[in-house]
Each structure stands twice: as C-alpha cells, then as structure tokens.
C-alpha cells in the first residue's frame, strides 16, 4: 500500500492524541510516587470514576459541566481516600501499599457497577468540537485536536508550576529528599496531600476527555492501568519530563507499530519496556539521578 504524506500526518496526530491522554494519567501517578514513594495502583479507577461522573453530569448539564466538575469530584474522592486510607499506609512499606491499592481497584470497580450498572454509558462530544478541522492538508476530528491541545496546555502549566514557582521548588525538594525538605521547614505531609489531590483531579480529567472517545464501562480503569504503568517505568519515576517522554514513546510506538508491524503491535511496547529495564533500570528521566 502506498501511503502519502497525509497518511503519515494523520498517524502522527493519532500518536500525539494517545500520548496526551496517557500523559494526563501518568503525570499524577508519577509525581505521587516521586514525592510520597507511594504506589497508587487505584489511579486507573479514579480515571474510570472521572468518566462516570462526567457521564452523569453531562446528562444533567451538558459536556462542559462534566468537564469542569468531574475532576473536582474525583479530587473529592481523592481527599476521602487520603484521609481514610492512604495516610495510614504511608509508613507501611511498598508491598502493603500495593496490596491495599490493588484491592481498592476492585472495591471501586464494584462500586461503579452498583451505582451505574454494568451497561456502558454514553457521553457525546460537545457540539463545539464535534466536526473535523482542516489541518496540514488533512481533515482531523476536532475533539482529538482538543485532547492534544489540552495535554500540551497541562504540560506547559505543570512545567511552569514545578520549574518557576515556590510551591514547585518545594515539591522538587520533597521529591529529591523529603527528610531534608521537612528539616528546612517545608510541610511535606501537606504538600503531599495537595499533590495527591491534584494527581487525582488530573486522572479524573483524563477520564472526562477519554469518555466521548472510548466507552464508559466499569473495567475501563483496569484497561488503562497497564499502559500508564509502562509510561512511568519507561519515563522514569517522579519527573514531569519522564512522564511526557514516556507518554510520547508509548503513543508513537503503539500507533506506528500498528501501522508498520501489525502482527507485533501488542508485543512491541513490552519489548521496549524490557529493553529500557535492562539498559536503564531507573527509566529515561528519573527525578533522582
């Protein structure tokens, strides 16, 4: 099959779109890990919750109500999880944390099933973004462009906050050496709580933007968890640069793998993951060198 330039542009945009979706998910997870050394496997479930909240809110007040309120609602769930569960698990070691948050996946999965039933829910693309846009000589769905732009905007905002503001400096200090940071008078616990909530909200946001593109089903959180973990392992734990690099690598390998070597599509990314773990076990851009 002969492919013209438009075909490759289209695929590059597809790759970028998938990358941005994964970036929204992985950034929260990776910074939570970097700062708190806390593995929150239930992060995918928060993404699913975001999609469900958005679907319910969209049924009342349209897409944009879901878009703005669902991440807040997911952050609320994050507050609840933090104060009831995660605070107690802070000092209990990674194995116990993995087990608890893994169990949390199933609890949240069954709660979504009880509240929203097993049937898939619908959420429509908002009218503003429903068409296609002429771009670089091809037509591309406006909603997918919106995801790309949103991802880049969030990246820019986070890069600014982490790199240029006082709270960003505090977070970086906390990631680097939390004991020293608290000696210097930074309230690491409170910082941790804020980061956790923001991470949850971003996971919820990812759920909201993914919902019109994918289906809203109870197991959507489980399906996205593995790609997210691959992203942060490739990118390196705890860093913004790692999350964006990992997401881009995942998105492009997955998309172009599907085009160039469809038989290998599902293996390629795991092969890459293995290669990264062998050559650079800490990932490409870890927060701590």
The interface region with another protein, picked from 80-88, 195-203, 222-230, 271-279 by CB under 8 A, is: 222-230
Should residue 253 be labelled a site residue for another protein when binding is judged by CB under 8 A? Answer: no
Q: Which of residues 256-285 bind another protein (CB under 8 A)?
A: 256, 258-259, 262, 265-266
Answer for which of 139, 156, 163, 275 binds another protein (CB under 8 A) is: 139
Residues 174/194, Cβ–Cβ less than 8 Å: no
Q: Residue 65 or 259: which CB sits closer to another protein?
A: 259
Total binding residues toward another protein, as defined by CB under 8 A: 46
- When asked if residue 212 is in the footprint of another protein (CB under 8 A), the reply is yes
d(CA 26, CA 100) in angstroms, rounded, equals 20
In the complex, minimum distance from the CB of residue 150 to another protein, in angstroms, rounded to a whole number: 16
For the CB of residue 47, give the shortest distance to another protein in the complex, in Å.
12
Beta carbon of residue 276, minimum distance to another protein (angstroms, whole number): 19
Least Å distance, CB 95 to another protein, is 25
Determine, following the binding rule CB under 8 A, whether residue 216 of this chain makes contact with another protein.
yes
Which position among 72, 215, 271, 288 is part of the footprint of another protein (CB under 8 A)?
Answer: 215
Out of 27, 81, 121, 158, the residue judged to bind another protein by CB under 8 A: 121
Scan residues 96-115 and list those touching another protein (CB under 8 A): 110, 113
Nearest CA among 64, 69, 71 for reference residue 50: 71
Burial 197-234 (b: 16+ CB within 10 A, else e): bbbbbbbbbbbbbbbbebebbbebbeebbebbbbbbbb
Asked if 124 interacts with another protein (CB under 8 A), we say: yes
Piece in contact with another protein (CB under 8 A), picked from 42-50, 148-156, 221-229, 280-288: 221-229
Which positions touch another protein (CB under 8 A)? Answer: 1, 3, 7, 10-11, 14-15, 17-18, 21, 110, 113, 117-122, 124-125, 132, 139, 141, 143-144, 210, 212-217, 219-220, 223-224, 226-227, 254-256, 258-259, 262, 265-266
């Amino acid at each position: 099959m002969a492919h013209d330039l438009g075909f490759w542009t289209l695929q590059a945009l597809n790759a970028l779109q998938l990358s941005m979706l994964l970036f929204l998910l992985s950034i929260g997870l990776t910074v939570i890990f970097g700062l708190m050394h806390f593995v929150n496997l239930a992060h995918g479930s928060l993404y699913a919750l975001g999609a469900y909240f958005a679907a319910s809110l969209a049924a009342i007040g349209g897409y944009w109500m879901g878009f703005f309120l669902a991440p807040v609602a997911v952050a609320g769930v994050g507050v609840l999880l933090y104060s009831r569960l995660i605070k107690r698990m802070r000092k209990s070691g990674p194995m116990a944390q993995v087990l608890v948050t893994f169990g949390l996946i199933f609890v949240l999965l069954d709660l979504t099933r009880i509240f929203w039933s097993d049937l898939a829910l619908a959420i429509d693309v908002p009218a503003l973004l429903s068409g296609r846009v002429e771009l670089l000589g091809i037509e591309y769905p406006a909603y997918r462009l919106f995801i790309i732009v949103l991802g880049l905007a969030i990246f820019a905002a986070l890069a600014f906050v982490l790199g240029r503001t006082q709270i960003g400096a505090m977070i970086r200090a906390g990631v680097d050496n939390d004991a020293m940071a608290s000696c210097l008078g930074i309230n690491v616990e409170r910082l941790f709580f804020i980061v956790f909530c923001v991470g949850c909200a971003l996971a919820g946001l990812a759920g909201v933007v993914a919902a019109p593109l994918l289906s809203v089903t109870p197991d959507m959180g489980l399906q996205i968890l593995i790609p997210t973990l691959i992203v942060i392992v490739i990118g390196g734990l705890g860093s913004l640069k790692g999350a964006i690099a990992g997401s881009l690598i995942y998105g492009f390998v997955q998309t172009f793998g599907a085009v160039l070597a469809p038989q290998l599509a599902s293996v390629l990314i795991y092969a890459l993951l293995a290669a990264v773990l062998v050559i650079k076990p800490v990932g490409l851009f870890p927060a701590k060198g």
